Amino acid sequence: MQEYGLFIGGEWTDSSTGETFDDMNPATLENLAVLQVAGIDDVNRAVEAAKAGFELWSKTPPPKRAEVLFRAARIMQRQKEELASLMTQEMGKVLAETRGDVQEAIDITYYAAGEGRRMFGETTTSELRDKFCMTVLRPLGIVGLIAPWNFPIAIPAWKIMPALAAGNSIVFKPASDTPILAIKLVEILMEAGLPPGVINLVTGPGGTVGKAIVRHPDIRAISFTGSLETGKWIMGECAKAMKRVSLELGGKNPVIVMDDADLDLALDGVLWGAFGTTGQRCTATSRLILHEKVREEFTARLLAKTRTLRVGDGLLPETDVGPVINKAQLEKIERYVRIGQEEGATLLIGGKLIDPESSGLSGYFFEPTVFTDVGPDMRIAQEEIFGPVLSIITVSSFEEAIEVANNTQFGLSSAIYTENMGNAFRAVEQLETGITYVNAPTIGAEVHLPFGGVKGTGNGFREAGTDAIREFSEVKAVYIDYSGKLQKAQIDTD
Ligand code: NAP
């Protein structure tokens, strides 16, 4: 059994607690590795190492920092197949998707590396004579990065690479369900030449290790992706300490299929959005808002296609839908199916966990599930289930579709299928989400566009895209007076 340590100050070390935890393959329930449970002392050690790392890295010219990232991207490219296979074993999603996850990490690494030569500020004039004004970007300091399990390498890379390009040092805690891919990413950065102390990795439960990172006074900013509940707690703690915090939280993403939609296209998009990654994407389609005129035909075709989806181990080429991540998640999905039935929704297909005895599948598998007759205020239409469960809500107009789509506390991704260009543009204007797709599913972000949500999904920050570096930088205004005398702004007006 492979054992992994904590990574502090450029070295792999054991934790101070002496405790370990197992990392399990959700498709087979086999143990993949043994990990360290870090303690508060280890977080403190990681912060001390990050202080030394910051001294060095923040003074390294950004194009030089970028060279490390370019090398890391090339190493990842070389290891893509190996990383993807490992990820399927650790997290469960099918190989095509884990290859995509690694590719996303490669893309953001190249993107952030490119930003190394684009650390642009602004120059402007002064209201006074012989005075020059500009802005420069400065790193924040030590940043705490906390990631979820559903994109085991892409989400860490979305945080780590821009944070490094901007000159910060890092204390990173991956999700306890997917630590191996995080460790591989750190190994890649070290092979690429990142100096010791610049990235430090601590593994262990969010409730202790994550909390210690959030509360550490010398960590200047937290970047967190995970659930709304945890995000709210983190935001409260950071507010008390006046600490910067960027949050990427849950979703209840709607796809609208209008009566004028290309139904073949919409069908492929809905299936991929709802059941890709076993519905465990923050951008997964969990509500299908269907125009009543196409309700019967579209629902029949959706069911026929859902029936053909093959559930199984993501390593097998025939598998369409892999396992869910863990037992707690499996039980949560089961609970929501019961809630949906009790609320009066009609279960059309699925709704059960897959029995290991009769199926030969020993892991955490759940049938792709579709509900119809779902009311917009039912809990299955409001709360994030994070599994292969789709709720169909019928509407009779474009206006009603938008109203239903916006009737949620979340605001990450939305999609509309329509051939009416006016309605497509109106949807872009009116849907209250950070991302809107037209004639494409709710999933499929690209790294050069900003990623994030509104309302309960986030707190205004965006990851990747043009905002990637800003998330991890301070903007400083600089005034250079070469008049040789005291000039008073707003007072010396001549
Ligand atoms: P989670 O339970 O909130 O955990 C996320 C991370 O936070 C894990 O590393 C976890 O550690 C850690 N953590 C837990 N409690 C903590 C605390 N009190 N203080 C600090 N860290 C803590 O979320 P999850 O179930 O792993 O992830 C699924 C959620 O993430 C869904 O809601 C999904 O929508 C959201 N998500 C959002 C985006 C986006 O960009 N908007 C992307 C992907 C996922 P442990 O693993 O040790 O518990």
Report, as an integer, the average pLDDT of 323-328: 97
CATH for 2-249+458-478 (3.30.465.10, 2.40.110.10, 3.40.605.10, 3.30.200.20): 3.40.605.10
- Candidate list 97, 115, 282, 384, residue with the active-site label: 282
Q: Around Cβ 79, how many Cβ atoms within 10 Å?
A: 17
Residue nearest to atom 10 of ligand 1 (CA): 206
Give me the residue label for tokens 């002496």.
18
Instruction: Quote the pLDDT of residue 18.
Output: 96
Please determine, for residue 494, whether its predicted confidence score (pLDDT) is greater than 80.
no
H or E element, residue 224: strand 221-225
Residue 232 alpha carbon to ligand 1 centre in Å: 11
Contact criterion met (CB below 8 Å) for 434 and 454 = yes
- Candidate list 248, 367, 463, 471, residue with the active-site label: 248
Instruction: Quote the pLDDT of residue 358.
Output: 87
Measured from CB, residues less than 6 Å from any atom of ligand 1 are 146-150, 173, 175-177, 205-207, 210-211, 214, 225-227, 230, 233-234, 248-251, 282, 384, 386, 412, 453, 457
Contact criterion met (CB below 8 Å) for 172 and 199 = yes
Query: Where are the domain boundaries for CATH 3.40.605.10 in the chain?
Result: 2-249+458-478
Instruction: Quote the pLDDT of residue 356.
Output: 84
Instruction: Quote the pLDDT of residue 466.
Output: 86
Q: Does residue 133 carry a catalytic annotation?
A: no
Distances in whole angstroms, Cα of residue 441 to Cα of each of 399, 438, 445: 20, 8, 10
Strands (E), 38-165: 123-125, 131-139, 142-146
Residue nearest to atom 15 of ligand 1 (CA): 206
Instruction: Quote the pLDDT of residue 357.
Output: 83
Q: 205, 112, 103, 116: which is closest to 153 by C-alpha? A: 103
- Give the rounded percent of residues in the chain with a pLDDT score beyond 90: 98
Burial class (CB in 10 A: 0-12, 13-18, 19+), 474: middle
Residue 397 alpha carbon to ligand 1 centre in Å: 36
At 190-204, the pLDDT tens digits run 999 999 999 999 999
At 255-297, the pLDDT tens digits run 999 999 999 999 999 999 999 999 999 999 999 999 999 999 9
CA–CA dist 367, 444 (Å, integer): 23
- Within 166-294, residue ranges assigned H as helices are 179-191, 211-215, 228-240, 263-275
Residue 147 alpha carbon to ligand 1 centre in Å: 6
Instruction: Quote the pLDDT of residue 386.
Output: 97
Q: Does residue 248 carry a catalytic annotation?
A: yes
Domain 253-438: CATH class, spelled out: alpha beta
Task: Report the range of poorest mean pLDDT among 93-97, 352-356, 452-456.
Answer: 352-356
Phi, then psi, of 276 in degrees rounded to 5? -60, 145
CA–CA dist 85, 415 (Å, integer): 31
pLDDT band at 428 (very low <50, low <70, confident <90, very high): very high
Report, as an integer, the average pLDDT of 310-322: 96
Residue 229 alpha carbon to ligand 1 centre in Å: 9
Query: Where are the domain boundaries for CATH 3.40.309.10 in the chain?
Result: 253-438
Report, as an integer, the average pLDDT of 108-127: 97
